[in-house]
Amino acid sequence: MIEAKNILVKFKQRWQFLLYVEVLLYALGSAILVFFLSANILLSLLVFVLVCAITSFIIKPWLPNITASSSYIDNNIESLEYSTSLLLQPQDKLSSLAMLQQQKVVQRLSNNVKTLNPPHHLLRSGIVATALILIGFLTYQFNVTDYFSTNKNPINKENIISFSPTDSTDLEASIPQLINQLLTVQYPNYTKLHALKTQQMDVKAVEGSRINWELEFNEPLETVSIENMENSFIMELKDGKYYYTLNIWNSSFYNFKFTDTSGNTYFSDLYAIEATKDQAPSIEVKGIEQFTQFEFTDDKTVKFSSNITDDYGLSEAYIVATVSKGSGESVKFREEQLPFNYEIIQGSKVQNLSKSINLDAMKMEPGDELYFYVQASDLKTP
């Protein structure tokens, strides 16, 4: 009955395999979540190993054995009449009646065991793993971790905002003291840059960045505002701190202003906001002369490569080719968009792409001319 016993062995192995897959799903989902949150491969591997160990201890995928498999099969296939244990007994120790029953069990087991699934929770572990990965992806995509970023510059007395009264007679009054200041730069999502938190009030960031100011004083004030040459923005008081958020599109200067409860007004020094432009992709075509001529008998294949770079990441790149036929007033133009030999990796900052253009495939004839250029776009959204 070696063949019959092998059926139980295979069922046991399938049972163990499904439990090990459960363990891997939990570990993989957790590791990918941690990678999205930290961008740290070593930490992700550590979490993977740790979760594998913990879930293995809980699920115990090595636990199912032949005896447990036999018992489970008996409880779920009624036609076996709780007789699979006979398959584990040596034939020389079975009576004639038991041997007949063993033969019946082998036949029925062979017909039914393939439709019986071992107990597992693959669906649950798959849902959990998918949810963890989705949470990690959304957190990364929308820079949620930036709100908890600790990327701060060290406190420096030179960075502290100093206020002066507008009226020199107010010098005798007690000036409210600034006890906390923080500037947070949230870069546009397409840049994939983490938020910057600093106590320096001079700002340099790519246009479209969101700037948040946070000031805290040692006593209540009447108003606190941010002033520039054209506007005055009142900061919002929340939990004892003053906040204001602004998207920057242009460079400018600004300063802070506050009025205390006695009506005295104070101004800070000027600070700079420098909005930098997102640079367009840089394209360099290599491996081809600016003008190339072919004889009719030549191999009319144009080969070249293009090195494309961008400061924050490329979105797409392709070739715009124009074929001109005829001359003078009868000239006709046909424009086509051609892909490179390989698709661009979206989000990469550097791409080296190649292309071969067969002029015969472009249906060109003697006297026709081909003009082309490479066009690329980055991830910036309006």
pLDDT in tens, the chain (382 residues): 445 567 777 878 888 899 999 999 999 999 999 988 887 889 999 999 999 999 999 999 998 887 777 777 666 665 555 555 555 555 555 555 555 555 566 665 665 666 777 888 899 999 999 999 999 888 877 766 655 554 444 445 678 898 988 876 655 567 889 999 999 999 998 898 889 999 999 999 999 999 999 999 999 999 999 998 888 999 999 999 999 999 999 999 999 999 999 889 999 999 999 999 999 999 999 999 888 888 888 888 999 999 999 999 999 999 999 999 988 778 899 999 999 998 888 889 999 999 999 998 888 888 899 999 999 999 987 6
Burial of 281 (0-12, 13-18, 19+ CB in 10 A): buried
What the block records as the tokens of 86 is 């006979």
Q: Are 116 and 109 in contact (CB under 8 A)?
A: no
What the block records as the tokens of 236 is 């919002």
Burial of 119 (0-12, 13-18, 19+ CB in 10 A): exposed
Dist. CA 97–CA 282, nearest whole Å = 85
Q: Are 319 and 355 in contact (CB under 8 A)?
A: yes
What the block records as the tokens of 120 is 């597992």
- Provide the greatest CA pair distance for the chain: 117
Helix (H, G, I), strand (E, B) or coil at 13: helix
User: What's the full length of the chain, in residues?
Assistant: 382
List, in order, residues 6 or more apart from 7 with CB less than 8 Å away: 87, 106, 109, 110, 113
Helix (H, G, I), strand (E, B) or coil at 77: coil
Dist. CA 305–CA 303, nearest whole Å = 7
